[in-house]
């Protein structure tokens, strides 16, 4: 177990703590980190969304549609200037144009979309193990 090499506890004690964190809901699940390049999804866009209103029904409809969109990998309801921030994956600029036209612009209540494109990933990390320490 890699954690046993980094934390001064026995593997049994670590396994017990992990099980406890899972039961408490601190650990919600496990993920594989997939190479976007291996899947041909080389373009990563951050899309700022403004809606026509903040009506509760419209927000629910937007949430549901964004969650169902195959190109949106993350969606955040925001406080501030933008109503939502979307993380979008695309194969190419022409693929993003298709996504913009066929998926993003058709989301409920959209009044404005602003897209930013990542040139390269500098850092992406999960919550550090030290955050789980008691």
**Global pTM value:** 0.75
Question: What is the DSSP code string of the chain?
Answer: -HHHHHSSS-HHHHHHHHHHHHHHTSS--------TGGGT--EEEEEEEEES---HHHHHHHHHHHHH-TTEEEEEE-SSS-SEEEEEEESSHHHHHHHHHHTGGGSTTEEEEEEEE-S---------GGGG--
Ranges for all domains in the chain classified under CATH 3.30.70.920: 37-117
pLDDT tens-digit map of 46-100: 999 999 999 999 999 999 999 999 999 999 999 999 999 999 999 999 999 999 9
pLDDT score for 60: 97
Distance from C-alpha of 107 to C-alpha of 103, rounded to nearest angstrom = 7
**Between these two residues, 131 and 40, which has the higher pLDDT value?**
40
Q: How many CB atoms lie within 10 A of CB 110?
A: 17
pLDDT tens-digit map of 63-75: 999 999 999 999 9
- CATH 3.30.70.920 describes domain 37-117: yes
């Amino acid at each position: 177990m890699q954690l046993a090499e980094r934390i001064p506890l026995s593997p049994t004690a670590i396994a017990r703590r992990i099980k406890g964190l899972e039961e408490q809901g601190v650990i919600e699940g496990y993920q594989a980190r997939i190479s976007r390049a291996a899947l041909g999804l080389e373009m990563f866009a951050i899309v700022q969304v403004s809606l026509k209103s903040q009506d509760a029904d419209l927000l629910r409809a937007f949430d549901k549609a964004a969650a169902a969109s195959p190109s949106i990998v993350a969606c955040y309801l925001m406080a501030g200037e933008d109503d939502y921030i979307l993380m979008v994956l695309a194969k190419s600029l022409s693929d993003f144009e298709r996504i913009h036209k066929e998926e993003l612009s058709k989301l409920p209540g959209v009044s404005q979309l602003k897209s930013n494109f990542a040139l390269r990933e500098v850092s992406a990390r999960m919550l550090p193990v030290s955050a789980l320490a008691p």
